[in-house]
Amino acid sequence: MPNNRNVYIADLKDKTGQEVTLSGWLYNSRSSGKIQFLIIRDGTGLCQCIIEKGKIPDKLFDDLKRLGRESSLTVTGTVRADERSVGGHELAVTDAKIISPTDSYPITPKSHGVDFLLKHRHLHMRSQRQWCIGKIRHTLIDAIRMFFNDNGFTLIDTPIFTSFAAEGEQTLFEADYFGTPMHLTQTGQLHLEAAAMSFGKVYCFGPTFRAEKSKTRRHLTEFWMVEPEIAFIDLDGLLELAENFVSFIVDRVMQKNRSRLQTLGVDLATLEKIKPPFYRLTYTDAADILTGDRTQKFLAEQLEQLKNQKQQTESKIAELEEKQKGRLKQWQKDKIAAELIELRTDLAETDTKIENNPKHAKLASEFRWGKDLGGSDETIISQMHDKPVFVTHYPGEAKAFYMKADRKETKVVLNFDLLAPAGFGEIIGGSVREDDYDLLVKRIAEYGLNAENYEWYLDLRKYGSVPHGGFGLGVERTIAWLTAEKHIRQCIAFPRLMDKIYI
Ligand code: 4AD
């Protein structure tokens, strides 16, 4: 094959001075008389291609000038290193071929509502932001597998169809399995416990389903979860494993995605802090924090900051609106329009936060021991910390039936949630499992579950029961945290939401 074929933008760094052909889509273009600047994307990156009139046939020059965003084409030219250029290299074009022209790409740099973009996710996934998130998701999943594979865990693929509830019957999706009612799995954990008794250290990784009737930014109805399960482990051992695991995957994501994280506006310094040990609080400590004066003071200060932020955003908007009235080139108009969209979105978010702040302050002050931590409670605790926080020893009544009661303080269970810092909230839930046959039978009855469905699970406590435990990390929530993305629907290619499946 000639060496100017099949060159990817990501490989241009090794091709300076050479003539290459790139194949891709037109991401953006502008022209200033005799020179055109085309930004091409090919799935591996962006490259600015410079076309001078006279260097290619006039007809082609004019056709390229009219070419709409997302038209597909090939361009041939000489690679030049240029630090100022997107991707660090540019192409001095000597030839081009339009593969499929379009002038009606529905997504423009101008404003589009969330609904429109979700309906067009099949196209919107080409945007820089969605592309960066998709690449980060890919390395996160690779890092997750690497961590467990390199630490002696065996992968067990657990089933999607199940006959029982593990995480509460209210969130089960029903399926008709040849006339027998069945459910889509909420977790692979129960099957994994059986596997841990054979292999010692195991993990499963796949899609899980919850009919969550909440439209929050943290909930999907189909999400990906990785779950390790280990025989002969206690709560301290689980916390240590979880903090080493999270630190490893964050480090790996950073190493592989520095420029993508920067494109997304992520403050890398905050991610660099993610190293063991993480903070450790008991649920009772967390309840004391929520109802204490420090939290009310913290929230009052936060409200002041939000109000300042609102003022600053409003004046920036006014400034740009004034600028818009002047004589501007089309690309300058587009740039301002795009900036205004972002600022107005920020403003709407700040307004929501200002509105919610007193509600969250009230919920926190009224928090009573025994309740599960709510989304806003988790947000407050996580905002008060600069590293992830383990919250351990929840009241048994607020948690799943399989969690092991603390033998010293039987009202609480040996469990933990891991809250990501800066307000992102829970990314992991885990526990030591009840390994006593009689206590587990009692819990199953207390939760009103059909004991017949759990006979095989109880067998594990009959035949060589051992202390064991594990946890589950939600992939989309972790990505939302790492990419500072506000809504987890942006963190999976084709999200499944409570109110709608778009495509
Ligand atoms: O805390 P959860 O419900 O724990 C379990 O399912 C355990 N069986 C795991 C185990 O011990 N093996 O869920 C674990 C994590 C949460 O911390 C969150 O990151 C994610 O799964 N998660 C969701 N992510 C998106 N949308 C939802 N509806 C989610 N529900 C849970």
Q: Establish whether residue 188 lines the binding site of ligand 1, counting it when its CB lies within 6 angstroms of any ligand atom.
A: no
Q: Establish whether residue 477 lines the binding site of ligand 1, counting it when its CB lies within 6 angstroms of any ligand atom.
A: yes
Tens-digit pLDDT profile for residues 198-257: 999 999 999 999 998 877 889 999 999 999 999 999 999 999 999 999 999 999 999 999
- Atom from ligand 1 closest to the CA of residue 431: 11
Match domain 110-276+468-503 to its CATH number in 3.30.70.2660, 3.30.930.10, 3.20.20.80, 3.40.50.300.
Answer: 3.30.930.10
What pLDDT is recorded for position 500? 81
Domain covering 9-100 assigned CATH 3.40.50.920 in the classification: no
In the chain, which residues have pLDDT < 70? Answer: 1-5, 110-111
Can 9-100 and 110-276+468-503 be said to share one CATH topology? no
Please give the DSSP secondary-structure letter assigned to residue 193.
H
Distance CA 320, CA 313 (A): 11
What pLDDT is recorded for position 4? 47
Q: How many CA atoms lie within 13 A of 48 on its CB side?
A: 17
DSSP codes of every residue in 206-230: EEEE-------TT--SEEEEEEEEE
Which of 172, 378, 477, 488 has most ligand 1 atoms within 8 Å of CB, for mutation? 477
**Closest Cα to residue 23, out of 78, 87, 71?**
71
Distance CA 249, CA 482 (A): 10
Helices (H) and strands (E) in the chain, counts: 14, 16
**Closest Cα to residue 90, out of 77, 74, 72?**
77
**Closest Cα to residue 104, out of 143, 149, 159, 66?**
66
First vs last Cα of the chain: how many Å apart? 39
Query: Where in the chain are the domains?
Result: 9-100, 110-276+468-503, 291-368
How many residues are given for the chain? 503
Count of C-beta atoms within a 10 Å radius of residue 198: 10
Q: Is the peptide bond before 358 cis (omega within 30 degrees of 0)?
A: no
- Give the distance (Å) from ligand 1 centre to CA of residue 225: 7
Rg (CA), the chain: 27
Q: Establish whether residue 492 lines the binding site of ligand 1, counting it when its CB lies within 6 angstroms of any ligand atom.
A: no
Give the 3-state secondary structure of residue 340. Answer: helix
What pLDDT is recorded for position 5? 61
What pLDDT is recorded for position 232? 98
* 3-state per-residue secondary structure call for 271-302: HHCCCCCCEEEEHHHHHHHHHCHHHHHHHHHH
pTM over 0.95? The answer is no
Which of 184, 223, 481, 498 has most ligand 1 atoms within 8 Å of CB, for mutation? 223
- Atom from ligand 1 closest to the CA of residue 212: 28
- Atom from ligand 1 closest to the CA of residue 171: 28
Count of C-beta atoms within a 10 Å radius of residue 158: 22
Q: Establish whether residue 227 lines the binding site of ligand 1, counting it when its CB lies within 6 angstroms of any ligand atom.
A: yes
- Give the distance (Å) from ligand 1 centre to CA of residue 28: 40
